[in-house]
Amino acid sequence: MELLSQVIIAYDLNFVTKDQYELKRKDMEEISRMLNALCKSQLNS
């Protein structure tokens, strides 16, 4: 979640464009889902 906070701050300070922000946000959501699935699979094995 810290990375998400940093991306939001970068966007608010105009260090990244809206397109870059949205792309990074989607990437983080996908990685988060993959990590959650990995954790769940490890707990069930």
* 16 and 24 Cβ atoms separated by less than 8 Å: yes
pLDDT at 45 over 80: no
Quote the pTM value.
0.78
Tell me whether residue 37 is exposed, middle or buried, using C-beta atoms within 10 angstroms of its C-beta: 0 to 12, 13 to 18, 19 or more: exposed
3-state secondary structure of 44: coil
Taking alpha carbons only, the member of 29, 10, 30 closest to residue 18 is 10
The predicted-structure confidence for 5-44, as pLDDT tens digits, reads as follows 999 999 999 999 999 999 999 999 999 999 999 999 999 8
Confidence of residue 1 (pLDDT cuts 50, 70, 90): confident
For the chain, the structural domain boundaries read 2-43
